[in-house]
Structure 1
Amino acid sequence: MGLMTFLRNRAGYILIGAIGFAIVAFLVGDAIQVGKPFWAESQKVVGSIDGEEISIDTFGPKVDQSLAQFKQQYGGSGNAQMQAMAVDNVWNGEVASILLGKEYSRLGLNVSSDELFDLMQGENPSPLIVQYFGNPQTGQLNRSDVITSLKQRAKNPQLNQQWSLLETEITKQALQQKYANLVRNSLYVTTLEANDEYLNRNKLANFKYVGLDYASIPDANVKPTEADYSDYYNANKKRFENPAETRSFEYVSFSVSPTKEDSLAVKTQVDKLAADFKTAPNDSLFAALNSDVKVPYTYLSKGKLDPAVDSVVFNLPAGSYYGPKFSGNSYKLIKVIDTRFSPDSVKASHILIDPTKLGGVDKARKLADSLKTLVQGGANFATLAKQYSVDGSKDKGGDLGTFTRGQMVPEFENAAFDGKAGDLKVVTSQFGVHLIKVEKQIGSSKVAKLAYVEKSLAASNKTKDAAYKKASAFLSEVKDNNFSELAQKNKYTVGVADKVTGSQGFAPGLDNPRQLIRDAYAADKGDVLKEIYQMDNSFVVARVTGINPKGTLPLEAVKKDIEPLVRNAVKAKQLTEKINAALQGAGNIDQVAQKLGKPVAPVQNMVFANPIIPGAAQENKLVGTVFGSQPGKLSKPVDGERGVYVFTVDGFSNPAPLANTYKQKEAMMQVAAQRSLGSAFQALQDKSKIKDNRVKFY
């Protein structure tokens, strides 16, 4: 009966609950059926900026593109730090795009069609148009090239896409310039401000002081109390603003450096390679199969190899063999196949023909040969390039500008550098068939074709396994609260990484820390991370020691950092008491100095804008107090950066009245204008709600 009564009384609630559950199940089921559960979308959010979410689907490709640009700019295959730079670059761009876009809309800023026309092909071209269509030597815009390219836009989908991207960037730059002008035009310098700045830089003060250095009291004699820490913290809270969340961790690194046995094994392998290399029937194939570092089998100029072998190799005749030579962390074996003198750079044009559009390489070469005959007969190469070439350079008549060795594919490079000015050459590369016109060759220096083998001195698997076992044993034994003690017991060195941001690509002592940093951001303070992290030459076990949230850091988070400053504040109190005792009954600075047993230090021609005391330090508080004092009076003690001071002002020398207030204002306006856009953007960020989840993805 009890159960039946309960069901009757609660039937309405049960029914409502059942219907609610059915609705949720229907929605979830529908979401699952279409393959996009509602919770899955939140897992794709890299961050949100003022309410607008950024998906990894759009953010990721932009990072890849940015990373590719960095690789091209700096070289290499891209490391953790370069990846972090790319992620930061894209993130900052997204923040700027969203916040500034909203600001443009709020202010009613836009770029009209007439303005865009003028920026693209009118009398006031965008710097981007000048960059792409300007003459590299004169800097002058070739407007006819712009118009020709715009006419071809409708016929070429790839060119149309490039123009669309360029229009977007031109519009973005124009809007930013309008916004910057608005911000600059809002700045104003008053006559009072101009006169104050003039006085601060030209009024001179002469004074004498006596100082007691903080170093005169041994640190061991000063024990700051909790009240001392609290007083300093409360008086300097603005210093402890944390612009972004950071984590701190400690770690033990288990080295994987090669042992003596590893070195001997590699040396034995290299000696065998050297013997085989000397008699190898195919030098280029042998090098490609056996070298840890791939050096192109083509002519190289001096300065491209390791300095330890570069100068030697380029002094050897063709047919010579050099090595094994150990330098850096690897052995080098080199055969000099050929040497010659070659141009330092070449200026060339080309017509690129796509074999797939003509039915094969043979037909493409036949067309190239026909075009070559036409040019030899007097036809204009640039005109033919615009008509037949599929390369982006066709809009410039096939002009590729001037390039050095290593910038073109080998087939193209060999044709351009091995010929002479005026040559017309037909070559086939991975991009298609080229008709090359060698316009000009510049300079001449020795080049060498080398077969190059490099073997790195690396740790053996046995050495790696031993280091990994040590790391595993430490990880299995360590607890959240005994990390340092256990490391000390095992005589392991504990490394420390403080205030690491979520997007940071480096950490002290660690060469590849991204996964470690990501896991640290998913852990709590005191947690030992459960993974053994592999760096380039070590295995690492780590523990999170601190989490500093965005905003004002609490006293405990900064206590260790401010300890020296708090100690100096305590010393300042002690030294102030000592100076106050010396001031009792003293009529001048000399009497104070005599009581303190310190010399009087004179300072001549001090300016407010440059508060550096000769032979001492930058003492802002002392100099500021000097300029606010009356001549001839003994000051009260002033606690500065390096010690506590007492002074007397001898006098001030005022400059001549400001002759040109307008010029002074203009100079101050220029300085303010340089900072204005950055300051305005920072203000927009401070007022916006920005959530950064990048650490979950990178």
Structure 2
Amino acid sequence: MALINKIREKSGVAVTVIAISLILFMVGGDLMGPNSFLTGGNNQSVGEIAGKEIDIKDFQNRVDGYRQNYEAQSGRSLGENELASLRDQAWNQFIVDIAYKKEFDDLGLTVTDQELVDMVQGNHLSPSIQQAFSDPTTGQFDKSAVINYLKNLKTLPIEQQRSWANFENNLKEERIRAKYENLLRLSTYTPKAQAEREYMAQNTKATINYLYVPYFSVVDTTIKVTDAQLESYLSEHRDEYKGSDTRSIEYVTFPVQPAKDDSASLYQEIKDLARGLATAENDSAFATMNSDINLPINMSMANMSDQLKEAVKTFVPGGVYGPYREDNTYYIYKYDGIRKDSVSTARASHILIRAENQSDSAKAAAKTKAEGILAQIRAGANFEALAATSSADPGSAQRGGDLGYFQNNGAMVKPFEEAVFSMSSPGLVNKLVESQFGYHIIKVTDPRSNTLYRLATIGKTIAPSQSTRDEAYSKADQFVNSVSNKEEFLEAVNKNKELVLATANRIPETATNVNAIQNGREIVRWAFNDRTSLNSVSQVFETEDEYIVAVLTGKSDADKVKIDDFRDELTTKVRNQIKSEQITAKLKGATGDLESIAKKYGAGALVESATDITLATGFLTSAGFDPIALGKAFGLKPGSKSDVFSGENGVFIVELINKTEAPKIADFTQYKTQLTQSLEGRTSYLANEAIREKAEIKDKRAKFF
């Protein structure tokens, strides 16, 4: 402002205009922005919790505090994704301070000073304290380190003292939250009658025959669904369809891919670095200074890429090897021999057989199945093929059971880890291993080893040159300038065979990513901007490796649920209702056995059987798990047949062949425990949902960030 006054004194009216312009420039964002006073958007609230407005300044102060602590501990500035995470943390803390605190206060929950001392340095230490003061090498907690830290706390910089005060405050909040959840858990109760019903559901068995006509047997195109029918269905089932503020877009991307010249340039650079690495006095420091990717100096097989695992076997101490290319990164390694680690590494595959439920009979059946598979493998059957077809672990099953490399540091459950690391050579573990997940059949493919390879690594990622980026941007810019609405957008995409149209539906206002697009916040902000109308085309958005142009195709409003918000789901529901009516009308009044009824019905009708099914785990071959059909079946008398009825995915007629009632027992403790533990496991989630719903939270952060 001193500069402005000086200019005004010398230049009169003309410079006064300049001064005003400077003022507008400096504060223009506040005056003319979306939350400005002049435009009427002076609301500085980032949200509302239990009727209390959260001011942007208070919210930002909390975020800044978190950021300062984080940067002080990590020694680096935050990235955008990390900052977004801290904003979420700050927002959730406001929810705790306002909505949760009321619940805690109503129950009289507190943490006394004596209790805090006990948590920090007493006999009942907080897990957070144990983690913060554990030896990074051995993992062992050092209580004396806590005592020494507290003795010297007042001599530490003020920032560290504040950090400790915040840490203790968090410990208190964790303890109060734990007390609250424990109180709720301990209040759960399962009546004997409910436990008895669960026992009956798990142990009463039935054999049934059923006629099943799936909805999909009627071709969708033969069923016409009108908007009036959709509206009627939505009106009748309004509680099932909760509204939300979302946006849907279609978009095209213009990738920024390194050109051939970019790759050649980097290849020459990394060859020069290889010569420097070979002669560097401190090779690890040289590698750290020149690498785009930080890798540990001492690497086990668990840390290595597949390519490096094979290559390192040929390395000689003192040698420099590479470059090796993995995706868009070139690597060179200087090898300095091996050393032994306190932690061992191994590689194994497994086949997991899981019980259908926690009953003794289900566990026995799973064990029998696992023993049968183990016997097949011992007899020469292919482990990988059986893993692919039989394992209940979908992640490893598609890799033939392979779990990759892991260490004996608790990465795997204890029984599994003990079995693998007891093997000194590759091969099949000659027994079943039971864990809380089920029965494991284990094959050790690379036995335990505590060998570490000392490798100074430089990784350089191929980055597109500025000319390459400019070329990609030019294509995106030409595209966006050639279209002005959705129709022109789609027409231009169809004409350009290089472009691929992608869709992102029901994007929430707080989203940071859009499908696989990282850091897509600007796209989301554009889609939610009040000035962005349906079918309008965006500007060019830039990410690290591509440019994006989008068109807004849909909007939904939390307070105004429309059929378009759930059109696909509603159409399926209404279409199935119509199909059900048509199938039922055709089967109504049919007589004879199920086979003859199916024959009269024609194509689409299936007659199947299910033996020894239960209400808890009944599975019908073609219909899958259908609780309506199971309930109807178990409600029949042996030898009787139901009327036509609609199930989850089709129309049924069910015939009960026989039913074996569960044996009489006096003690239902096992089933009572099962139900109670299940309810206790959901307590935290259910309490959280109830408190948030009662607080009527309105999150407006997306308008600011």
- TM-score scaled by structure 2? 0.67
1:693 aligns with 2:694: no
Matches within 5 A, 1:51-450: 51-53=52-54, 55-61=58-64, 64=67, 84-132=84-132, 149-154=149-154, 156=156, 160-161=161-162, 163-242=164-243, 244-258=244-258, 262-264=259-261, 266-267=263-264, 270-271=267-268, 274=271, 278=275, 293-294=291-292, 300-301=298-299, 307-308=306-307, 311-312=310-311, 315-317=314-316, 320=319, 322-332=321-331, 336=334, 339-344=336-341, 445-449=452-456
Q: Which residue of 2 aligns with 1:605?
A: 612
What CA distance in whole angstroms lies between the structure 2 residues aligned with 1:298 and 1:147? Answer: 32
Shift in Å, 1:104: 1.3
Which residue of 579, 584, 605 corresponds with 1:571?
Answer: 579
Instruction: Confirm or deny: 8 A CA contact 1:210 1:647 kept in the other structure.
Output: yes
Q: Distance in 2 between matches of 1:37 and 1:627?
A: 66
Q: Distance in 1 between matches of 2:136 and 2:553?
A: 55
Alpha-carbon distance in structure 2 between the residues aligned to 1:472 and 1:137? 54
Question: In structure 2, the residue corresponding to 1:604 is in which secondary structure?
Answer: strand
Match of 2:683 in 1: 676
Compute the displacement of 1:680 (Å). 1.8
Residue in 2 that maps onto 1:46: 46
Which residue does the alignment assign to 2:553? 545
Amino acid of the structure 2 residue aligned with 1:184: R
User: What is the CA–CA distance in structure 1 between the aligned matches of 2:306 and 2:139, rounded to whole Å?
Assistant: 38
2:494 aligned with 1:488: yes
Gaps of 5+ in 2: 1-29, 344-408, 410-448
Cα distance in 1 for residues equivalent to 2:272 and 2:115: 71
Contact 1:247 1:498 in 2 (8 A): yes
Deviates more, 1:468-477 or 1:275-284: 275-284
* Secondary structure, aligned partner of 2:314: coil
Moved more, 665-674 or 535-544: 665-674
Q: State the shift of 1:546 in Å.
A: 1.7
* 1:498 maps onto 2:495 in alignment: no
Match for 1:694: what amino acid?
A: R
How many angstroms apart in 1 are the aligned matches of 2:82 and 2:677? 35
* Preserved CA contact (<8 Å) 2:246 2:509: yes
Greater displacement, 303-312 / 196-205: 303-312
| Alpha-carbon distance in structure 1 between the residues aligned to 2:113 and 2:288 | 60
2:71–2:77 CA contact under 8 A, matched in 1: no
Q: Once the 2 structures are TM-superposed, how far is the Cα of residue 494 of structure 1 from its aligned partner?
A: 1.9
Q: Distance in 2 between matches of 1:180 and 1:691?
A: 25
Q: CA deviation at 1:571?
A: 1.9
- Are 1:290 and 1:453, in contact at CA under 8 Å, matched by a contact in 2? no
Q: What is the aligned-residue identity percentage? A: 25
Q: How far off its partner does 1:315 sit? A: 3.0
Change (3 A) 1:231 1:607: farther
Counterpart-to-counterpart distance in 2, 1:611 and 1:80: 49
What SS does structure 2 have at the residue aligned with 1:207? strand
Looking at structure 2, the residues matched to 280 and 126 of structure 1 have their Cα atoms a distance apart, in angstroms, of 46
Runs of 5+ unmatched residues, structure 1: 1-30, 347-403, 405-441
Give a deviation string over 1:392-421, Cα, whole Å, max 9, x none.
xxxxxxxxxxxx9xxxxxxxxxxxxxxxxx
Distance 1:63-1:488 versus aligned 2 partners, 3 A rule: farther
Measured in 1, the distance between the counterparts of 2:74 and 2:175 equals 29
Query: Does the aligned pair in 2 maintain the 1:588–1:634 contact within 8 Å?
Result: no
CA contact 1:66–1:90 (8 Å) conserved in 2: no
| Counterparts in 2 of 1:601 and 1:332: CA distance versus 1, 3 Å | closer
CA contact (8 A) 1:256 1:537 kept: yes
Q: Pick the structure with greater CA Rg.
A: 1
Work out whether residues 486 and 537 of structure 2, in 8 Å CA contact, stay in contact via their aligned partners in 1.
no
2:437 counterpart of 1:466 = no
Shift of 1:300: 5.0
User: For residues 156 and 332 of structure 1, what CA distance do their matches in structure 2 show?
Assistant: 42
Q: 1-side partners of 2:520 and 2:292: how far apart?
A: 27
CA distance in 1, matches of 2:337, 2:592: 87
Deviations 1:192-220, CA, capped at 9 Å, x for gaps: 32222222222223321111122322223
TM-score by length of 1: 0.68
Q: In the alignment, what sits opposite 1:535?
A: 543
Alpha-carbon separation, structure 1, partners of 2:300 and 2:674: 50
Deviations 1:333-381 (A, max 9, x none): 56x4x634445469xxxxxxxxxxxxxxxxxxxxxxxxxxxxxxxxxxx
- Count of residues paired in the alignment: 557
Kindly indicate whether the alpha-carbon contact (under 8 Å) linking 2:485 and 2:537 is maintained by their aligned counterparts in 1: no
Distance 2:631 2:267 in 1: 69
1:48 match: secondary structure: strand
Greater shift after overlay, 125-134 or 564-573?
125-134
Aligned-partner residue type, residue 64 of structure 2:
P
Mapped partners of 2:606, 2:481: distance in 1: 63
1:114-169: per-residue Cα shift (whole Å, max 9, x none)? 44444445554444445456799999987666555544445556675455334322
Matched residue SS, 2:654: strand
Question: CA, structure 1 residues 648+227, in 2 after alignment: closer, same or farther (shift >3 Å)?
Answer: farther
Secondary structure of 1:646 counterpart: strand
Shift of 1:518: 1.9
Contact 2:184 2:683 in 1 (8 A): yes
Deviation at 1:600, TM superposition (A): 3.2
SS in structure 2 at match of 1:251: strand
TM-superposition CA deviations, 1:608-654 (whole Å, max 9, x none) = 22242134312122212223344444322222333211112234322
Q: Are the equivalent residues in 2 in contact too, given 1:579–1:637 (CA < 8 A)?
A: yes
RMSD over aligned Cα atoms = 4.4
